[in-house]
Amino acid sequence: PLPTPPLNTGDGWHTDFHKAFHHGHVIERPDETITIEVLSTGDLVLTHPSGLHVGDPIAAHTATALTLTLPPGRYPAQLSEVVIRARDGSAEATAIAASRIKLAEGRAVSWRFAGSFSTDDGIGAWMTDEAHEVLAQGGRDGARARIGLAASRDGLTNGLASSRYDGSGPQDVAWCLTGFGGGDYDVYVGLDADDRPVELVADFQVLLDPVEATGTIEDPYTEPPGIVSLPVLEDIGVTVRRAHDDETASLSGKPLWFEIDARQNRRDPRLGFPEVRGFAPDGQPVPLDVTNEGFRIQVALPAPGEPIPTRIEVAVRVGFEPM
């Protein structure tokens, strides 16, 4: 049985895995091109039936045990690596968008949430029961240390192959760097047309665009004190208020300009933390003095001589859109 999926998972919230594992696929974007490279990284080798854990191998005690048992066999591991090239030629970057374990032949046609994990080290791994036990105990024979050292040197060349240690080391673990670093990541099981599990995928959220609800305050300096009418934000429990002249920001002590109250949506994992942005007449960003007190965001009034934005946007992530 699979776990009950959280609200912020499922269709519309995960990467398009078919695109992510389509070698050579190119995604054209206004400022960059993204090319998909599928890397085969060896096999997870099981000599006896085993469960599977997914998580940070450096902190394996925090890994998530998936609700499945695999029979003995060889399970190919693959990575979706993206190469991001700026159109002006100024930069090129690479990142791992997803990690996949093939469970059987066949094509996945639907995806079910299978679990999630967190990593502070920016490393994720598929671990057999035996490998997880060893790594959770501290990494016998330096196995955990070797994984960390290889990742710190060059995670895209030294850390991709699944690792099999004899004797006292892990019997199998396949690991990689996770997207753009540490974070919380979801795992999905891909089912074929007969609802048979054919693959597991860890989604590192590289090939997702955030969908935002954005409230805009035009000419904020002339906005009168009180609640600013921004229905798009009010619909998701976020209110914006222009402060009175005698109010000060509770943390900085500076004159308060605007306060954003997002306390009503803090329990909804589908919603991101509000982001406040200022802009000049030409559309260029203008820095704002922003402090947070829990889910209350305070924007200080610009001091004399500081630039005053002619437009303020309050944006809240309400979902994702696969690239």
248-305 residue pLDDT tens: 998 889 999 999 999 887 667 678 889 999 999 999 999 999 999 888 999 999 999 9
pLDDT at residue 169 tops 70: no
pLDDT mean over 20-39: 95
Residue 45 DSSP SS3: strand
Domain membership flag for residue 1: no
Question: Do both 193 and 226 map to the same domain?
Answer: no
pLDDT category, 10, cuts 50, 70, 90?
low
Q: Which of the residue ranges 159-168, 185-194, 206-215 would you say has the lowest mean pLDDT?
A: 159-168
Q: Do 76 and 173 meet the contact criterion of CB atoms below 8 Å apart?
A: no
- Residues 6+ positions from 53 with CB-CB distance below 8 Å: 60, 63, 64, 65, 66, 126, 127, 128, 129, 131, 132
Q: What is the pLDDT of residue 119?
A: 93
Are residues 166 and 285 located together in one domain of the fold? no
Are 123 and 194 found together in one domain? yes
CA gap 140, 131 in Å, rounded: 10
**How far apart, in Å, are the Cα atoms of 108 and each of 155, 158, 199, 218, 296?**
28, 29, 7, 47, 43
179 in Cβ contact with 205 (< 8 Å):
yes
Tell me the percentage of the chain whose pLDDT exceeds 70: 85
269 vs 73, more confident: 73
Is the model more confident about 49 or about 138?
49
Total number of domains in the chain:
2
DSSP class of residue 165 equals: -
My answer on whether 50 and 89 are in the same domain is: yes
Mean pLDDT of 2-10: 68
Element at 18 (helix H, strand E):
helix 17-20
User: Over 70: is that where the pLDDT of 189 sits?
Assistant: yes
Indicate the residue type of 279: F
Is 129 in the same domain as 142?
yes
Residues 147 and 191 in one domain: yes
Give the residue from 185, 206, 227 where a domain finishes. 206
Domain boundary among 206, 227, 256: 206
At 312 the pLDDT is 98
57: DSSP letter: G
Q: Domain boundary residue among 206, 238, 271?
A: 206
Q: Assess whether 48 and 108 both reside in one domain.
A: yes
CB environment 149-184: b (16+ within 10 A), e (fewer): ebbeeebeeebbbbbbbeeebbbbbbbbbbbeeeee
Is 262 a domain residue? Answer: yes
Region at 246 (left for phi over 0; alpha for psi -120 to 50; beta for the rest): alpha
Instruction: Return the pLDDT at 192.
Output: 96
Task: Give yes or no for residue 47 having a pLDDT over 70.
Answer: yes
pLDDT (mean) for 185-190: 95
Please give the residue that has the higher pLDDT: either 108 or 153: 108
Range of the domain at 167: 17-206
Residues 293 and 218 in one domain: yes
Listed residue (76, 41, 79, 54) closest to 3, CA to CA:
54
User: Vertex 85, ends 121 and 79: CA angle to 5°?
Assistant: 45
For residue range 116-166, what is the model confidence (pLDDT) as tens digits? Answer: 999 998 889 998 898 888 888 865 556 667 666 666 655 444 344 444 443
Q: Are residue 40 and residue 139 in the same domain, yes or no? A: yes
Residue, of 69 and 131, whose pLDDT is higher: 69
Mean confidence (pLDDT) of the chain: 87
Closest CA to 32 of 81, 80, 92: 92
**Structure-token pair, residue 167:** 């004797």
- Say whether both 220 and 166 belong to one domain: no
On whether residue 7 sits in a domain, the answer given is: no
Contacts of 210 (CB under 8 A, 6+ apart): 272, 317, 319, 320, 321
Q: Indicate the pLDDT class of residue 239, thresholds 50, 70 and 90.
A: very high
Residue 260 DSSP code: E
Do 53 and 143 lie in a common domain? yes
In terms of domains, do 171 and 282 share one? no
